[in-house]
Amino acid sequence: MPCLKRTLYLLLLCCPACVPVQYASGPKQAVEIETTDRAYHNTVKSVRLYAANGSMPLPELNPAVAPLNNQQLVIEFDLLDTIRETIALKLLHCNYNWRKSSLSDLDFLQEFNAFPVNDFAYSIDTQIPYVHYRVNLPAVKLPGNYVAVVYRNNNPDDVLLTRRFMVYDSRVHFMMHDNPLTSGTTAELNQQLNFTINYARTEIINPAESIHVTVRQNQRWDNLAQGLKPTFIREHQRELDFRFFTSENLYPAGNEFRFFDLRSLLNPGVNVSRVDRSLSPQRVYLVTDKTREGQRYARYPDLNGQYVLANLDNPQPHSAQYVQVHFTLQSPRLQDSVYLSGAFTNWRLDESSIMVYNPAIGAYTADVLLRQGWYNYQYVVKNSQGVVNRFEGNHYEAENLYEIFVYYRPFQPPADLLIGYYRVEVNHPDR
């Protein structure tokens, strides 16, 4: 663990009568279920799905990825309400591209696909009352992509949220190779993964067509690289070589994430400008942000876009407040849309995270209801080319977490199975 990040993790680990504000629970008619990370009602907040037995010092920072023989996945979330709901969940199996597979429930589960969520706790002395729910996900029989669908009132059509997770079976071996980028603009702005997959331990027919490889950066879903094809296939050695030579296969390196410390409302933390306690809920104004494009790289500890819930004002469990957080980004108006991005937005670039331009102050603004904690975020631009780090800049020195997923489509079962998973920490100080 690098020194800077170890300090940040230790700092976070040491943290352990009002008028309620009413929030509409949203329509209860059937909705089209998405195989994405999404909250379907504005009462659903602070959704976390993580591997409880992962390697990160704070469990909630672990990717929602688990080995088939040791599945310890947990989902937690809040519902802004004063009463407990009847909550349950079901699982969907998806192919490598996150489209629902043709498998039946019994193909990947040992039992009926409906699991009650009975672990709950009420918030204590909070301006906005909420109920916190937690449940261990059921074990699955097959490796692959899954979506947890959480619903209420014993009605699978009354969906509250969907959340992705992955279960893998290690049937391939990974070999990482040096980055060939040495100089020039491309090398300064991008990061490249070069690796070989050896599948000698498993019988694979027609690997060029039946194997799909996906790469994810910092647990993000907005710039996922799916269906990567090998540069070389060595059938005698049973190897697939991925060595990228063109800019289309590079990852923009990005920058360390911006952050703010919302663990205390009585003594506001770093990058919090002020707190208006006269409002209910309280309103938090962050410092005004500016573009970081063209600036030199500065290393500082971040959570790779994630967040940690914590409350320094009250040691009671579930006493953390929900507050309205105001973001301001000083910038001329752009032709393309600007979005607030991070794990707390589910990495979604839609109406839930879009920023509004205020010509009176020459800035983009956004307001988000968040629970007390330590948050990472960034500003991104979406255009016809995809996601652009227009305000953050790209630096090859940036510390990033990459995950490589290897999927195989056998003859039976007729679905993509996750047969390999590998994590790569680029620019890790201990590497």
Q: Please, what are the domains in the chain?
A: 19-168 (2.60.40), 173-253+396-426 (2.60.40), 258-388 (2.60.40)
Using DSSP's 3-state secondary structure scheme, residue 184 falls into: coil
pLDDT value at 309 more than 50:
yes
The pLDDT value recorded for residue 124 is 96
Q: Average pLDDT over the chain, rounded to whole?
A: 91
* Cis peptide, bond prior to residue 281, ω within 30 of zero: yes
DSSP 8-state assignment for residue 249? G
pLDDT, mean of residues 188-203: 91
More confident call, 180 vs 231: 231
Q: What are phi and psi of 13, to 5 degrees?
A: -70, -25
Q: Kindly give the residue spans of alpha helices, DSSP state H, lying in 254-398.
A: none
Are the C-beta atoms of residues 50 and 63 closer than 8 Å to each other?
yes
Structure tokens at 222: 């907005």
DSSP 8-state assignment for residue 100? B
The pLDDT value recorded for residue 67 is 98
The pLDDT value recorded for residue 22 is 45
Residue 41 identity (one-letter amino acid): H
Structure tokens at 410: 């056998």
Structure tokens at 240: 């697939």
**Against a cut of 0.85, is the pTM above it?**
yes
Of 1-10, 170-179, 265-274, 317-326, which range is least confident? 1-10
Cα–Cα distance measured from residue 147 to residue 416, given in angstroms and rounded to the nearest whole number: 14
More confident call, 175 vs 385: 175
Q: Quick one: which H or E segment has residue 209? A: helix 207-210
Structure tokens at 43: 């009462």
Percentages of the chain per state (helix, strand, coil), in multiples of 5:
10, 40, 50
* Alpha-carbon 125 to chain mean position: 30
Q: What are phi and psi of 216, to 5 degrees?
A: -125, 140
DSSP 8-state assignment for residue 345? G
The pLDDT value recorded for residue 192 is 86
pLDDT value at 234 more than 90:
yes
Sequence-ordered list of residues with C-beta below 8 angstroms from that of 210, at least 6 positions apart, any chain = 204, 408, 409, 410
Give the other-Cβ count within 10 Å of 371's Cβ. Answer: 24
Position of tokens 């929602």? 64
More confident call, 112 vs 300: 112
Cα–Cα distance measured from residue 294 to residue 67, given in angstroms and rounded to the nearest whole number: 41
Cα–Cα distance measured from residue 396 to residue 186, given in angstroms and rounded to the nearest whole number: 9
Give the other-Cβ count within 10 Å of 216's Cβ. Answer: 21
Q: How far is CA 231 from CA 96, 178, 181, 404, in A?
A: 20, 16, 17, 16
Are the C-beta atoms of residues 378 and 342 closer than 8 Å to each other?
yes
Of 32-36, 77-81, 111-115, 162-166, which range is least confident? 32-36
Cα–Cα distance measured from residue 123 to residue 321, given in angstroms and rounded to the nearest whole number: 9
Cα–Cα distance measured from residue 113 to residue 118, given in angstroms and rounded to the nearest whole number: 16
Of 33-42, 51-60, 269-278, which range is least confident? 51-60
pLDDT, mean of residues 11-38: 62
The pLDDT value recorded for residue 4 is 60
The pLDDT value recorded for residue 17 is 34
Sequence-ordered list of residues with C-beta below 8 angstroms from that of 186, at least 6 positions apart, any chain = 247, 250
Sequence-ordered list of residues with C-beta below 8 angstroms from that of 295, at least 6 positions apart, any chain = 393
